[in-house]
């Protein structure tokens, strides 16, 4: 049982209470905002890329954001009844510096996300918000010291450090590490944003990813990152009953970007467990690469929304929404379990190749089935 960290889980039984409390809080706050949105007729217009046909509130992300901030505040208290959320950094106003950076990043994403949900932002404006959020966590000391290369070797990123001036907090920055953190955080934010296209899809894949990262952190004994993963797990679990098909509301840009941001941060702060996150989120990541590549070939913006994602193709084949969501999560669970059992770079490299092959076959089969259905219709 030790490889899965379950012995640690028995040592910290309050974790069960923690995730349950956060999930209930998310469920209740989402319900309150849902009623508020209905009462005030906050029902955004249906966009061309949307699958739903009736106008629904897009406030779920705000509810998750509020829940996460309340959880961070309670967990930041030195004598918290739960696991104290700390990452071993110096404190800023009594809060762990890394956690402070996460909070600043979430505030930035809330502002940009709300504006996008209400008025709409251009891709460049959204990227600016994501860049600023990533800057906040880098300032907070969340940088990957190294990444394990597939099959063998380690690429060290903590070289050529420099220190920011005191008026910027005297943070130590590793340029290569910071560059990787920027790319990783922005990529994860956009992957979750791209995959927020069906009822329950982004929320459920976040639950699966957070659960796997939590178990990885337990296995390594990283209690701070494990607690952060539980926060993500709890807020997504509490949101899902409202968003499961047929949904009552959506998470919007605020929710999808926040979940991608927190999952990216958890993967970095748990010891650069990027390979594990890639395996769990393999389908969304590879689907994003395929869709972006197709858009670039067509001389379109890579961030231009459409209905060419894998989940849209599965719908056109005839699979019901819940089946599509469960199928994608089943693949994530399988590769997540393999990632938990495989602790060496070579094994994870092989798993990544298997995932890529499976994804290519998956795309090919769905493309052929989609064409067959299209011919039948016409």
Look at residue 377 and tell me whether its pLDDT is greater than 70.
no
Which run of H or of E encompasses 187?
A: helix 175-194
Mean per-residue pLDDT, 226-238:
94
Mean per-residue pLDDT, 236-263:
94
- Cα torsion 194, 185, 262, 34: sign: negative
Q: Show Cβ contacts of residue 367 under 8 Å, excluding neighbours closer than 6 positions.
A: 313
CA–CA distances in Å: residue 61 to residues 33, 144, 250: 10, 27, 8
Which pLDDT value is given to residue 4? 45
pLDDT tens by residue, 196-213: 878 999 999 999 999 988
Share of the chain above pLDDT 90, in %: 34
Which pLDDT value is given to residue 146? 77
Q: For residues 196 and 175, what is the distance between their CA atoms, to the nearest angstrom?
A: 32
Which pLDDT value is given to residue 78? 65
Look at residue 173 and tell me whether its pLDDT is greater than 80.
yes
Which pLDDT value is given to residue 202? 92
pLDDT tens by residue, 37-47: 999 887 777 66
Which pLDDT value is given to residue 3? 42
pLDDT grade for 97, boundaries at 50, 70 and 90: confident
Mean per-residue pLDDT, 154-176:
77
């Amino acid at each position: 049982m030790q490889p899965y960290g379950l012995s640690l889980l028995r040592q910290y039984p309050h974790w069960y209470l923690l995730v349950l409390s956060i999930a209930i809080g998310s469920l209740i706050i989402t319900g309150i905002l849902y009623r508020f949105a209905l009462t005030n007729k906050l029902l955004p217009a249906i966009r061309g890329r949307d699958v739903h046909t009736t106008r629904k509130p897009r406030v779920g992300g705000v509810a998750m954001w509020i829940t996460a901030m309340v959880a961070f505040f309670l967990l930041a208290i030195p004598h918290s009844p739960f696991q104290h959320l700390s990452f071993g950094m110096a404190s800023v106003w009594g809060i762990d510096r890394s956690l402070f950076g996460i909070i600043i990043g979430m505030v930035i994403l809330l502002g940009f996300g709300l504006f996008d949900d209400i008025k709409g932002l251009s891709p460049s404006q959204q990227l600016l918000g994501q860049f600023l959020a990533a800057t906040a966590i880098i300032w907070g000391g969340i940088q990957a010291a190294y990444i394990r290369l597939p099959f063998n070797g380690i690429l060290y990123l903590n070289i050529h450090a420099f220190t920011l001036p005191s008026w910027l907090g005297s943070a130590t920055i590793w340029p290569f590490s910071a560059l990787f953190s920027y790319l990783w955080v922005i990529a994860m934010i956009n992957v979750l944003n791209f995959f927020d296209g069906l009822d329950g899809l982004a929320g459920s894949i976040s639950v699966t990813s957070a659960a796997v990262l939590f178990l990885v952190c337990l296995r390594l004994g990283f209690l701070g990152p494990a607690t952060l993963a539980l926060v993500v797990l709890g807020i997504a679990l509490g949101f899902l009953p409202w968003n499961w098909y047929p949904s009552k509301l959506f998470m919007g840009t605020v929710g999808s970007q926040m979940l991608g941001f927190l999952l990216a941060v958890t993967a970095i702060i748990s010891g650069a467990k990027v390979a594990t996150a890639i395996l769990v989120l393999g389908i969304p990541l590879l689907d994003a690469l395929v869709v972006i590549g197709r858009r670039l070939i067509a001389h379109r913006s890579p961030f231009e929304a459409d209905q060419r994602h894998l989940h849209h193709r599965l719908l056109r084949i005839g699979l019901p929404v819940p089946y599509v969501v469960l199928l994608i999560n089943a693949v994530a669970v399988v590769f997540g379990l393999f990632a938990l059992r495989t602790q060496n770079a070579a094994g994870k490299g092989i798993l990544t190749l298997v995932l890529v092959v499976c994804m290519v076959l998956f795309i090919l089969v769905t493309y052929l089935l989609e064409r067959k259905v299209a011919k039948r219709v016409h």
